[in-house]
Amino acid sequence: MAALVTGGASGIGAAIAARLRDGGARVAVLDRDPAGAPAGTLPVKADVTSDEAIRNGVAEAVAEFGVLHTVVGNAGIGAIGTVEDNSDEEWLRVLDVNVLGLVRTARAALPHLRAAAAERPGSVSITHTCSIAATAGLPQRAAYSASKGAVLSLTLAMAADHVRDGIRVNCVNPGTVDTPWVGRLLGQAADPAAERAALEARQPTGRLVSADEVAAAVAYLASPAAAAVTGTALAVDGGMQGL
Ligand code: NAI
């Protein structure tokens, strides 16, 4: 199997890339800062806000692997604030990375995925890293939540558009995951330990999700075991949404 993971040089994306690699896949890590790409993967420097950079990055991966079966659109950024706090520029930046980044990645990859699906039906997929913010109202996350709501709808629309091509499209909805991103957020809090405790308490399991637990869900969605699974959002959120 050959895979490409955007934002695969840190946190959830790095865990996904490592897990797919450990499962025997050749993995390209497309990241604006690919230095942290896991060993044994192909680091590709590209910013998902550039259509040209993504096209070149996907072409580089396909030139190396000769084929592409799995795309994981994971690169994303956050924004803190209510609708009164964030400027239009901040909104557009979040939507550009979190939503259009996935559109550009899919546009570049789909011709290759279509070709692969003709050879290996059921084994070709796109998986997006969405968020529980798509379905739960979280305070101080207006732009981020709106972007992830768009990711959920985009996932469903793409699943419908490409099901007849043999390409499955799904997303994972993580709760709060212990990654460098969350570490940065906690670092900015007045009382980081209290903030971490509040995040842990928000999830019924009483702890943060690990990046590898999200990676396991993505690996399943990308595997032939999920051949009947498309147009779904798999929550990995410690029960936050359902309980
Ligand atoms: P992270 O900040 O640890 O890693 C993000 C990676 O994406 C970094 O390697 C970064 O260089 C890359 N990236 C960011 N903007 C990029 C761009 N424009 N072009 C190319 N690469 C870019 O973040 P984390 O926590 O691993 O988040 C990954 C994804 O998971 C994001 O889509 C985020 O919204 C989502 N998520 C994270 C949660 C969490 O609690 N950490 C919860 C739910 C979803």
This model of the complex carries an ipTM of 0.99
Which residues make beta-bridge pairs with 35? none
pLDDT at residue 56 in the model? 98
pTM of model > 0.95 = yes
pLDDT at residue 122 in the model? 87
What does each C-alpha distance from 39 to 4, 26, 34, 43, 229 come to in angstroms?
15, 11, 11, 9, 30
Question: How many other C-beta atoms are found inside a 10 Å radius of the C-beta of residue 183?
Answer: 12
Start-to-end CA distance of the chain, whole Å, equals: 36
Q: How far is the CA of 59 from the centre of ligand 1 (A)?
A: 22
Going by alpha carbons, the residue nearest to atom 34 of ligand 1 is: 76
Q: How far is the CA of 7 from the centre of ligand 1 (A)?
A: 6
pLDDT at residue 129 in the model? 98
Which atom, in ligand 1's list, is nearest to the CA of 7? 7
| pLDDT averaged over 10-residue windows placed end to end, the chain, 243 residues | 98 98 98 98 98 98 98 97 98 98 98 95 95 96 98 98 97 97 92 94 96 98 97 97 88
Give the C-alpha separation, 127 to 227, whole Å.
13
Going by alpha carbons, the residue nearest to atom 35 of ligand 1 is: 129
What tokens appear for 67 in the block? 């084929």
pLDDT at residue 201 in the model? 95
Which atom, in ligand 1's list, is nearest to the CA of 177? 40
State which amino acid sits at residue 121.
Answer: P
Give the residue numbers annotated as catalytic, written as ranges: 144
Question: How many other C-beta atoms are found inside a 10 Å radius of the C-beta of residue 220?
Answer: 15
Give the C-alpha separation, 129 to 154, whole Å.
12
pLDDT at residue 181 in the model? 93
Contacts of 142 (CB under 8 A, 6+ apart): 79, 81, 82, 83, 85, 86
Going by alpha carbons, the residue nearest to atom 6 of ligand 1 is: 7
pLDDT at residue 121 in the model? 81
DSSP string of 12-69? HHHHHHHHHHHTT-EEEEEESSGGGPPTTSEEEE--TT-HHHHHHHHHHHHHHHS---
Closest CA to 123 of 172, 74, 67: 67
Contact assessment for residue 84 and residue 140, using Cβ atoms and an 8 Å cutoff: no
Q: How far is the CA of 228 from the centre of ligand 1 (A)?
A: 28
